[in-house]
Copies of this chain bind each other. A is one copy, B any other.
Amino acid sequence: MPPTKPLDRVVPIGTLAERTGVKVETIRYYEQVGLLPEPERSEGNQRRYGRAHVERLAFIKHARDLGFAVESIRTLLRLSDTPGMPCDEAHAIAAGHLGEVREKIARLRSLEAELARIATVCSGGVAAADCAVIEALADHGRCEHHGH
């Protein structure tokens, strides 16, 4: 028989990791915090995963990549496990997260403007006493009014 690895229905944790792009340690962590159900074990006590696990982990990974908190993912998984439920909660989680992301962007943009201003004034080579970076940080009169 050839190494039919990609078609195996039951795979060890390393293969699951490769297949989903999630590290082995992270997979065990997800199991520990209850995102991923405990899989069957081999005779020697090693984890053996099936197709359902691959799909569930892909779901988790995708949600994490989108920045959802583990707690939100727990809820989203619960919803996806009970397809009859209305999905208002899922929408609320996504919309809430979108709001957070937008806030973060806004905050980072104001940081970016401030940092760019500071960093362009001083491009190094000057004595620290006259450095615009140090000065800007020391001079709290300039920036504390538009709270970044």
Which residues does A use to contact B, with CB under 8 Å?
Answer: 55, 58-59, 61-63, 65-67, 76, 79-80, 82-88, 90-95, 97-98, 101-102, 104-105, 108-109, 111-112, 114-116, 118-119, 122-131, 133-134, 136-138, 140, 143-144, 147-148
Chain B residues closer than 8 Å to A97, beta-carbon distance? 115
- In the complex, the answer to whether A127 meets B86 with C-beta atoms within 8 Å is yes
Q: Please classify the interface of chain A as helix (H, G, I), strand (E, B), loop, or mixed, using the class held by over half of its residues.
A: helix
Point out the residue from B65, B98, B136 that lies within 8 Å of A112, measured CB to CB: B98
Q: B127–A87 contact, CB under 8 A?
A: yes
Q: How many copies altogether? A: 2
Pick the most buried of A91, A122, A123: most chain B CB atoms within 10 A of its CB.
A91
Residues of chain B with a CB closer than 8 A to A128's CB: 79-80, 82-87, 90
Say which residue of B67, B85, B119, B137 sits within 8 Å of A63 (CB atoms): B137
Q: List, in ascending order, chain B residues with CB within 8 A of A67's CB.
A: 108, 111
Contacts of A58 in B (CB 8 A): 138, 140
